[in-house]
Chain A
Amino acid sequence: MVKSFNDILEAAKSAGPVRLVTSFREQDLDLICRAAAAGFIIPCLIGNGKAIEKMTERGPLASMEHEIVDERYPGGVLQRAISLIREKRADILMQGGFDQNAFLSAVLDARTGLLKAKAASYVSVFELAESGKLILVTDTFLNNYPGLTEKRLILENALSLSAILEIDTPKVAVLAAVEQVNPGIPSTLDAAILSKMSERGQFGKARVEGPLDIDCSLSHLAAKRKGINSNVTGNVDIYLVPEIDTGYLLAESLVCFGRIHTAGIVMGTTNPVILDVPFVSDECRLVEIALASLALRRGEGDGQAV
């Protein structure tokens, strides 16, 4: 079981390098060099070839294996990057210098992009040093107001990542404001349905409990005092949030107030995709690359990735 960011880094290192393609921007140079030096990636940098060469020729990247793809037409860079992935000439796509809106529109295009599942979602992985485990929180970036169908897909995507992290029987808390099913609070209804689906084995070995409020999710004792007896409470692996306001702000709260390290990945695509997310620190961006490498190596499906 992968229990820490260090485990992710070590696992990616032993798995060997994968080809990471990105629209090169100078501010990513240090990150790319560190990832290449660690043996995670062979960088494939797209953009103005001469300009990239000039920026990299005197740095550490010059002595490492890398590829520069000359694409002068700005509108063609993104499509070129996606094509490299689709043609299996590259493995991982990093947002880098791409505009986020255009990047996601192209990546998540069902026909010409990299969408594999019915919906893509973003999973934030947090390293809880005290309990010595990783927790997943989703969706913290991509989907605004998912309905039940989308929540099911988001959960399945997170379960795929939990398998990559070797969590054998994932325990899932479907979060809501209250732990009781309340017809006036839609998130509690979705949570109850997902929980029932889990009872019927629709999520494999995963144990899905919901609705759960955050105190019951985090503390077995708190849950017991509220009359909830479940082996999910106090030992949650995956937190499924109701919507983006909660997901985004929850992730930020853990980072800003708890100083808890986080790294994220887009799930539901044919190949791992790394986004530029404001609450992911520089230090953790290296973990994101390692995580993407791991997802590629351990991912299931059509012989490709996540």
Chain B
Amino acid sequence: MIRSFRDFADLASEKGPMRVAVLAPEDEEFMLAVKKSWQRGYIEPVLIGNKERIERVAEKVEFDISGFETISNDDRQAISNLGIGMIFSGELPIASKGQIPTSYIYRSIIREEAKTGSGTNVSVISFWEVPGLDHLVAFTDTGVNIVPDAKAKLEICKNALFVYRLLGYSKPSMAVLSGQRQIGGALTSYRDYESIRRAADSGDLGECEIVDATSFTEIFAGKGNRIVNWDSLNLERMPHILLVPCLDTGNIICKLDFVLNVSRCSLVATSRGPVCIPARSDFTDSIVQQLAMCVAIAARMKGGK
């Protein structure tokens, strides 16, 4: 079972290097991450973007890229289309976003999924490694669906469950999060929780457990209880997957690693392979970690143990 980012790194070392379409690696922080990932044996980059800028940043971080395939292109959407197309054609197992707006990447993935008729709803999974917890926590959807309805949320759940099972968990647990309180009536997010619970009960989500809690207080302190003190919080109750109500909530909470003692890694799981999507504000070590995770997930998607 994969329980930590260290496990991802170990698996990436074992299964790598894998060829990765690196889209617009035109920032030093990002290029340094590519260099480190290459040195650690995780990836072999195929560099796509403005050749001059790529060469300039590579030089700045003292990375000799002469031995790697480089495809020159200045158009951001074209770069994205090209890299994502390489995954869907089977040419490469992984793509990674560099200095390119994430929305361009999503657009390319959505187009390719539509072409294949896979029916896959595109969503982002952000993993947290929390000290003291014996498993990773997957937040989803933290990147694509702005206000998903119950139907879209079911698809998002399926994606997350698929990925979590790749980590070696046959029956992942999941909480459907909501800001539901005693006051204010039933929130849409709470009605979605009820709907997803019914779907899970009727087998629509395969082997999984939807926990009877929709907020962190309920998860850690138990339903109907309040936080009395830190000792009343039981971290062991943390489910594997947390379905967030909407994009605002997901993106804001998953990036709390800027203030909390947790680490974060995000990916898009397409039907053909993972796409690494570090935030533009992420730093080198975090990007390396995310590339390792994508290599490990790609290896598992191919059927590797």
Contacts and interface: CB of A to CB of B under 8 A. Distances in A.
Partners in one complex: yes
Interface of A: 100-101, 104, 128, 141-142, 144, 175-178, 184-185, 187, 213-216, 218-219, 221-223, 225-226, 241-250, 252-259, 276-283
A281 B217 contact: no
28 contacts: A101-B182, A128-B259, A142-B183, A144-B185, A175-B248, A184-B146, A187-B248, A213-B255, A214-B253, A214-B255, A215-B279, A216-B281, A218-B259, A221-B281, A222-B281, A245-B189, A245-B245, A246-B248, A249-B179, A252-B217, A253-B256, A254-B260, A255-B227, A257-B130, A259-B230, A279-B216, A281-B228, A282-B229
Secondary structure class of chain B's binding surface, majority of residues: loop
A249 B216 contact: yes
B260 A246 contact: no
A292 B289 CA distance: 45
Contacts of A219: 258, 281
B258 A215 contact: yes
Contacts of A184: 146
Contacts of A247: 179
Contact of A226 (B183, B185, B247, B280): B280
B253 A215 contact: no
Given A185-B247, A215-B281, A250 B252 contact: yes
Contacts of A128: 259
A185 to B, nearest CB: 6
Contacts of B215: 248-249, 252, 278
B187 A279 contact: no
Given A241-B248, A249-B249, A279-B216, 20 more contacts: A128-B259, A141-B181, A142-B184, A225-B29, A245-B178, A245-B179, A245-B249, A246-B252, A249-B177, A249-B215, A252-B216, A254-B259, A256-B216, A256-B233, A257-B256, A259-B230, A278-B226, A278-B227, A281-B227, A281-B229
Interface in B141-159: 146
A305 to B, nearest CB: 22
B227 A279 contact: yes
B281 A258 contact: no
A283 B279 CA distance: 37
Nearest to A175: B252
